[in-house]
Amino acid sequence: MHRCAGYWYCLYQGRRKEVFRERGLYTTMILQAGLMLILAYLAHAQGAPGALPSTSGGKTVTSNEGESVEFVCTVTGMKINDTFAWTFTPKVGVARGLPLFQKQGENAQQTSPWYTFVDNNRTVWRMTINKVQRRDTGVYSCVVLSSRSQEIQSENFTLVVRYPVQINGVSPRDPPYVRPEEPNVIYFNETENATLLCLSVGNPIPDTFWRRAEGSRRRLQSGEIFSMSKTLNIYNISVDDEGIYTCEARQGEGISRDVYNVTVRVQHAPIVDEKQDLVRKRKGSSVELVCIIDSDPLPATALWYKGDNLLTVGTSTQHRSRLVITKLSHKDYHNYTCVVTNILGTSSCQFVITGRPVKPTIISSHLSPKMHVNTLEWTYEDYDTETEKTFRIYYQQKNHKKGGLKGMPFYEVGLKFNPQKPMHYNTTIHDLRANSTYSVVLFAVNAYGQGDEEEFEFRTAAVERKKGRDQKNQPTAAPQVGGNGHMTSSTMAAILMSICSALLLL
């Protein structure tokens, strides 16, 4: 439908409703524009603040610790009854802004002496932070409150404070892990899972890692040299994991670094070590049994037992317990036990006091020059020359094919000990097989029992060495006796042949 060319023309055409509709639209637009002008005038007259410019707000400021920082906020259209404020919202811990400065009319309030506030005729507002600290990191806002409409307008400034890396210790830092007298020593119980947390700070955030202390050749439990994390885990910790650990934090190459050392100690059940578990002493002598104690935590209690009987004697210190027998008697030859206990467990060490002989040492050659005999030589350092002893030798041919000993019984040779002789002994074994290997067991026996055994092997010759010319006219040696004390078969045959030859001559 075409619009009307004019009012009278439309009236003439009978379309008055459309004309009135157009006039209503224009009238509405004019009334709205007039209302906006009136509201703007009233707002200006009542002192509503103008919009804050974006050129000086909403930006991020980066500063080094110790420097000064200034924020500038520009406000237009602010009236005397309006309120202006600076607020601070820390990086963490506070959800709403904390008031730093507030001014309404001529009344101004400042809550912190660390800041300086200046305004220029309520248009340019300045806030200065002298010697910025890391705690100043956060968001600073300039806020304007209209006294009539109660509307709030604000701009934000984000402050980032850079500061060098610093390690404030290692966690855990509280008992029972740390003792007041040893702040850099952390204690863990054996077999528990230990966690060390390096408390490093800095902005920019530093790279933090763990390692063993300098000079230590030991690696971390994982087998690595470094652990690139603020947290170091030691699983099923043991005494082997004790030592000095180093936490190091760096802010890039050549910027800033810090190092912190901590000593890890592992508390455990007592660890005991005996200086000598088998003690050989002659009757009438003095004996001292010493048990070395490694106990953490202290104290550790040490008790001595003879067999199953608790002894009331014995003296102990933190790291050592002693049992002294001043004059050894026959009844003192026994088993002794030192039992050490702390709050984490119990350990013990065993001792045996004996009068049995010591072990001899065979010094013979393993190859015999003879086919059917061999001479054994040995040394014996005796601690008890007053007690009579006997040496016993058991020997047997060895079976090379089966790798074991034949089922034949051992032969025994007994020798009386003479304390007047030097500590060097020998005996000859007869009636041996040629080109054969023999196993020998040698030990001493006294009134207190059998001593430690010395095992030895030798091999007889395959061919007997021929006698030299100077030995042909030598007298015949006396008949030899075997290891069992009986005459050998070769000697018996020689005697029979001599008797037969004498009978033929007759």
Residue 505: is its pLDDT beyond 70? no
d(CA 300, CA 295): 6
The percent of the chain in helix, strand and coil, each rounded to the nearest 5, is 15, 45, 40
The predicted-structure confidence for 341-394, as pLDDT tens digits, reads as follows 999 999 999 999 999 999 999 999 999 999 999 999 998 888 887 888 888 888
Tokens describing residue 317 = 């210190």
The predicted-structure confidence for 30-64, as pLDDT tens digits, reads as follows 334 333 433 333 344 344 444 433 335 568 999 99
**pLDDT at 409 (0 to 100):** 53
Tokens describing residue 298 = 């202290």
Is-contact 338 319, C-beta < 8 A? no
The mean per-residue pLDDT over the stretch 155-160 comes to 92
Nearest partner of 396 among 466, 464, 484, 473, judged by Cα: 484
The DSSP code sequence of 272-313 is EEES-SEEE--TT--EEEEEEEEEESSP-EEEEEETTEEPS-
pTM: 0.58
Tokens describing residue 319 = 């790291």
**pLDDT at 149 (0 to 100):** 81
**pLDDT at 42 (0 to 100):** 38
The predicted-structure confidence for 301-334, as pLDDT tens digits, reads as follows 999 999 999 998 888 888 899 999 999 999 999 9
| 503: enclosing H helix or E strand | helix 489-505
Q: Which residues contact 465 (CB under 8 A, 6 or more apart)?
A: 369
Q: State the amino acid at position 467 in one-letter form.
A: K
The mean per-residue pLDDT over the stretch 394-408 comes to 64
Residue 1: is its pLDDT beyond 60? no
**pLDDT at 137 (0 to 100):** 92
Q: Which residues contact 307 (CB under 8 A, 6 or more apart)?
A: 334, 335
d(CA 312, CA 329): 18
Which position has the token pair 């009135």? Answer: 20
Cis? peptide before 299, omega within 30° of 0: yes
The predicted-structure confidence for 381-396, as pLDDT tens digits, reads as follows 888 878 888 888 888 8
d(CA 230, CA 210): 7
